[in-house]
Amino acid sequence: MKTAIVWFKTDLRLIDNETLVKAISQNDTIIPVYCFDESHFKMTSYGFKKTGNFRAQFLLESLIDLDKSLRALGSGLIILNGKPEVEIPKIAKQFKAHRVYAKREVAFEERQTEALVQAELWKLSCELLTFSTSTLYHAEDLPFSIKDIPDVFTNFRKKTEKDAVIRDAFNQPTSINSPEIPMLDLPTLSDLGLESVSIDERATIRFKGGESEAVKRLNHYFFETKSISNYKETRNGMVGANYSSKFSAWLALGCVSPRFIHLELKRYESQFGANESTYWLVFELLWRDYFRFMMKKHQNKIFLKSGIQNKDLSINKFDKKALENWINAQTGVDFVDANMIELQLTGFMSNRGRQNVASYFCNDLKLDWRYGASYFEQQLIDYDVCSNWGNWAYLAGVGNDPRGNRYFNIEKQASDYDKNKIFRDLWLKR
Ligand SMILES: Cc1cc2nc3c(=O)[nH]c(=O)nc-3n(C[C@H](O)[C@H](O)[C@H](O)COP(=O)(O)OP(=O)(O)OC[C@H]3O[C@@H](n4cnc5c(N)ncnc54)[C@H](O)[C@@H]3O)c2cc1C
């Protein structure tokens, strides 16, 4: 009898989950686990929590949904709390597992944890098998080796679109053989050192965690409202549920895979037609892929103030007062403040908003961009290490921007994208 642990991390789904599918096909018994890594709930050196209330709530909802789906197939989810390098080997030993299956990591800290877990498992003669499951294009199918991926997005995109193929998504398993798994035992927000959240009624949508909700949102955005057919025209919006897909939070925790979104998009196009808008969603998902591959290529350089460009940013400093004013929407610039209130009260901000408040932070306030990125890390419901730090570095002029410095004229942006002040009034007039 071969027993394997499936270690869920940011891949909280059953559809298109290679890790789970391979574990089932290569073993007799499966033990699905999720570990609340204590380091994810600590303060960072920048003075912010690594995980804030909104994302933690979304995570708890996602785990409840995952457990429910696993139980429907004959299994369930075991929750561990502590350090993965201690807890994963402990459970492997308890169930005499010969292998642990998990998602392959790309970012620095996550890779360190993966290596520690692997080293401890080796001591038990237990193997760690990892799978790349979070991108649209599989890393092995790219027309370049990771070290040769162009540092300019357009060059990456054009060659990838021309020479690479998106793999098929894996089907959801139909049954899982597991021993009896005890009832789901989740920590509360207060166990995690956090507070319960009530989302402001002005929030664009109510993000609820879990694969079922991700599929619901996808159906709503594609098939029910056909909003996807106008995405290119509306994507720079700031008010309302459907100006953009809002898939990001589910993508960040892996409640849905980009490949499944792509598959559904093709199904949509075959029924309702393809246009620039349907293509543009794939274009944006390619940005997401790109930041992942850049993280793999440049590793911890992405987190340095000087970034991958080794640029001298000594002019950009730490200024507590200016940082607090930015966070608390007290900059006096109404477009920036309205966006910061939305982030504070909902855990979400539009892409247009993010670009503006980040540019203002780096170029107008001349602050050290890593503090802004770290605040986003705490606050965003859709925080994703590669997309967040990659976009911040880009805007700070130390990342993958061939233009060097992306300065946003906030006044012009406000009048272009919030001409009638609908967005600003929504958030500033309480
Ligand atoms: C400073 C800054 C920080 C950001 N931090 C994050 C983050 O932590 N997590 C995150 O998912 N996105 C981040 N983004 C990217 C982008 O703002 C969000 O993905 C988007 O606003 C989410 O809304 P949506 O799902 O409706 O996007 P849509 O416009 O519907 O796009 C569809 C999907 O494409 C991907 N995507 C779109 N734009 C980008 C982009 N610029 N970079 C990477 N992927 C993109 C996302 O997965 C998104 O869900 C950041 C952008 C900036 C400028």
Which CATH number belongs to the domain containing residue 393 in this structure?
Answer: 1.10.579.10
Domain boundary among 133, 160, 194: 133
| pLDDT for 401 | 77
| pLDDT for 197 | 83
| pLDDT for 416 | 97
| pLDDT for 311 | 87
Domain boundary among 298, 322, 352: 298
Alpha helices in 73-191 (DSSP H): 84-94, 108-122, 153-163
Whether residues 388 and 271 fall in one domain = no
Q: Is 252 in the pocket of ligand 1 (CB under 6 A)?
A: yes
| pLDDT for 297 | 95
| pLDDT for 5 | 98
User: How far is residue 248 from each of residues 31, 254, 356, measured CA to CA in Å?
Assistant: 28, 10, 19
Residue 388 alpha carbon to ligand 1 centre in Å = 8
Residue 182 alpha carbon to ligand 1 centre in Å = 37
What span, in angstroms and rounded, lies between the C-alpha atoms of 286 and 270? 21
Among 133, 15, 51, 46, CA closest to 379: 51
Q: Is 291 in the pocket of ligand 1 (CB under 6 A)?
A: yes
Whether residues 313 and 243 fall in one domain = no
Q: Is 134 in the pocket of ligand 1 (CB under 6 A)?
A: no
Residue 415 alpha carbon to ligand 1 centre in Å = 22
Residues 6+ apart with CB under 8 A from 204: 239, 240, 241, 246, 346, 348, 350
Residue 349 alpha carbon to ligand 1 centre in Å = 10
Residues of the chain predicted below pLDDT 70: 404
Q: Is 218 in the pocket of ligand 1 (CB under 6 A)?
A: no
| pLDDT for 346 | 96
| pLDDT for 314 | 84
Residue 251 alpha carbon to ligand 1 centre in Å = 10
Give per-residue pLDDT as tens, 185-213: 999 999 999 998 888 999 999 999 999 99
Atom of ligand 1 nearest to the CA of 245: 30
Does a structural domain hold residue 181? no
Domain boundary among 133, 153, 183: 133
Whether residues 252 and 308 fall in one domain = no
Tell the residue nearest (CA) to atom 11 of ligand 1: 248
- Specify the CATH number for the domain of residue 281: 1.25.40.80
Give per-residue pLDDT as tens, 302-332: 999 999 988 888 888 899 999 999 999 999 9
Q: Is 351 in the pocket of ligand 1 (CB under 6 A)?
A: yes
Cβ neighbours of 296 (radius 10 Å): 20
Whether residues 106 and 218 fall in one domain = no
Whether residues 7 and 48 fall in one domain = yes
Residue 12 alpha carbon to ligand 1 centre in Å = 19
Instruction: Report CA Rg, the chain.
Output: 21
Q: Is 244 in the pocket of ligand 1 (CB under 6 A)?
A: yes
Tokens linked to 248: 């990001």
Q: What's the domain count of the chain?
A: 3
